[in-house]
Structure 1
Amino acid sequence: MGAYTFHISNPILPIKLLESNATVDELIEGESKTWKKDLVQAIFRQEEAKCICNIPISIKGMDDKVIWGLSDKGLFSVKSAYFTDLEKIKHKTGETSNSDQNERIWRKVWRLTSSGKVKQFLWKALNGIPPTRSNLFKRMVVDNSTCPICNREEETALHVLWDCPASVDVWSEEFSPVKKWRRNYADFMSVWSDFHSKLEDEKLHIIATMLHCLWRRRNDLVFEGKFKGPSVLFQLALQGVEAIKLAQEKPRESQLRTTDSLRILWRPPRLEFMKVYVDAALDTK
């Protein structure tokens, strides 16, 4: 039937008409399965009584059951609760120009020529969900949130990818597209928004690969005790960019060569001839 809130017109009157522990079924005729309109109108306001009496009542006499009204099947799921919460947040904050900007940012992330694992890492970083010490500490997985590289600040996505002194050394390399950029960003999304608005696609591709390399270096230190210097790390990022570029160009070149060869080899028959294409299989046994 759904959830409704009604105001009782006279709070003293219902006590005289019904017991203090009365339930809704006492407002319904047992045999005919219809509302007791006189009783409903005596308890509730006129407009509310009309709404109540317009609520359909099941004639099958089925037992009441709890349903989740936010899904088609009436069953609760984490997915439906998640999207309901998103809708509530959207209605609460209202639509702003930021939503359009965020949509453009996400569209550009998925259109990057970077590998899938780089894009997936960016998605996690922009949503603030990489397993940094800060996130792990909040979930009581580790006993402190300090950065394992500098041992000074809390390790957030912004810190490990941008603010940590070890990361600053990498971004200060000679061929870095963001060599002299500012450091006072509020979160990683703010940093990436600047990347998105100020850098060309080719440089943004380098930055994305570099971010993934920084995270891999952090994991190498935590789990294997290995640590690469800024120059080595930057060169690895550039090599990764070139490898992806070559991998994406080869299929196109191969396809073009195949198409060209087909165009060269095939010739239409002369007027007095007809071409017939056949296929055959040979059994050597």
Structure 2
Amino acid sequence: MGSCIADLAPEVVAAVPQKIRLTRTVAEAFTNNRWPTDIQGGLSLIGQYEYFLLSDTIREIALSLEEDKHTWKFEASGIFSSRSAYQAFFNGSITFEPWRLIWKSWVPGKCKIFLWLAIRNRCWTADRLAKRGLDHPDNCVLCDQEDETAQHILTSCVFAREFWYRILAPLGFANSVPGQHDIIFAKWWKKASRRIPKEKRKGFNSVVVLGAWLLWKHRNAGVFEQSSPNISALVQQFDDEFHLWCLAGARGLRALGTGAVVS
């Protein structure tokens, strides 16, 4: 039925003494159609309508002689598990597809949080500032050619593409550099990561996170410190951070080699 009797026929239930309601079992009420005899007093027109509606509804119900048992519908076995209960909390939720690339990569927590915000377009770039009537750069501070968005800074900016080439090519990932048609960072990352051999994929993902983090910091230096974009300085910074991350335990990075070649 999908609802309790009190919701279906409240006036009928109210006409049954509380003592009977608390002690009468379903089986007893159904035996020899006993339940109407529990109703005491007269019913209003609405109560009579509820009575006939209830009568028609329960007429289709057949009780089983088997003992009742609880079945957990989120498991094929019908047995409750904490795992399926936890997953049930997310039924109907929207999946954040790049979560595995972010949270499973060996990178500092602050970098993961930044990328989570950037992919969801929650960083305070010029486009978001403009929507709120706040001061913002007229163009991307890295290339001074296009409007600034999080996706542009990390993927489609010509400065960013040059940077990606300068750090990925020496590691053997020249074919994974963002192309002209790559404008969404998460889509490019997912596509590029799938092309990387499995034994190098973890290191590649760490490189992508590190590169994105440094691009964002370089952009912030231009906005808040009025420093000019410098691709060589940024590549050198990547090279330094690459080695520091290796020393900190990034095994995936160690498997890639010595890092970017500064030229």
TM-score range, shorter chain: 0.5 to 0.7
Q: 1:84 to 1:217 in 2, by over 3 A?
A: farther
> Contact 1:147 / 1:160 at 8 angstroms: preserved in 2?
no
The 5 Å alignment of 1:246-265 reads 246-248=247-249
2-structure distance, mates of 1:110, 1:88: 22
Aligned residue in 2 for 1:203 = 204
Aligned residue in 2 for 1:274 = none
Q: 1:210 to 1:28 in 2, by over 3 A?
A: same
1:193 aligned residue (186, 190, 194): 190
- Alignment partner of 1:216 is 2:209: no
Counterpart residue identity of residue 184, structure 1: H
Q: 1:50 to 1:146 in 2, by over 3 A?
A: farther
CA RMSD of aligned residues (A): 4.2
The 5 Å alignment of 1:1-285 reads 36=43, 39-42=46-49, 46=53, 87-89=91-93, 102=97, 105-138=98-131, 140-142=132-134, 146-149=138-141, 150-173=143-166, 176=169, 177-178=173-174, 181-185=178-182, 187-199=184-196, 200=200, 201-248=202-249
Quote how far apart the aligned CAs of 1:160 are: 0.8
How many residue pairs end up in the alignment? 187
Q: Find the residue that maps to 2:113 and give its secondary structure.
A: helix
Unaligned runs of 5+ in 2: 22-38, 59-86, 251-263
Quote how far apart the aligned CAs of 1:194 are: 1.7
> Contact 2:182 / 2:188 at 8 angstroms: preserved in 1?
yes
2-structure distance, mates of 1:44, 1:223: 74
1-structure distance, mates of 2:216, 2:222: 10
Q: 1:185 to 1:169 in 2, by over 3 A?
A: closer
2-structure distance, mates of 1:37, 1:186: 68
2-structure distance, mates of 1:115, 1:168: 24
2-structure distance, mates of 1:41, 1:197: 67
Quote how far apart the aligned CAs of 1:163 are: 0.9
2-structure distance, mates of 1:144, 1:26: 64
2-structure distance, mates of 1:47, 1:240: 73
Question: After alignment, is 150-159 or 170-179 more displaced?
Answer: 170-179
Q: Which has the higher contact order (CA 8 A, sep 6+)?
A: 2
Q: 1:45 to 1:213 in 2, by over 3 A?
A: farther
Unaligned runs of 5+ in 1: 5-23, 52-82, 91-98, 250-285
Counterpart residue identity of residue 46, structure 1: L
Q: 1:144 to 1:245 in 2, by over 3 A?
A: closer
Counterpart residue identity of residue 202, structure 1: G
2-structure distance, mates of 1:122, 1:153: 21
Q: Find the residue that maps to 2:249 and give its secondary structure.
A: helix
Quote how far apart the aligned CAs of 1:125 are: 2.0
Identity in percent = 21
Quote how far apart the aligned CAs of 1:87 are: 4.0
Q: TM-score under structure 2 normalisation?
A: 0.55
2-structure distance, mates of 1:84, 1:222: 44
Deviations 1:135-173 (A, max 9, x none): 3333x1526685342444332221011111221232232
> Contact 2:193 / 2:205 at 8 angstroms: preserved in 1?
yes
Counterpart residue identity of residue 171, structure 1: W
Aligned residue in 2 for 1:69 = none
1-structure distance, mates of 2:245, 2:151: 26
Q: TM-score under structure 1 normalisation?
A: 0.51
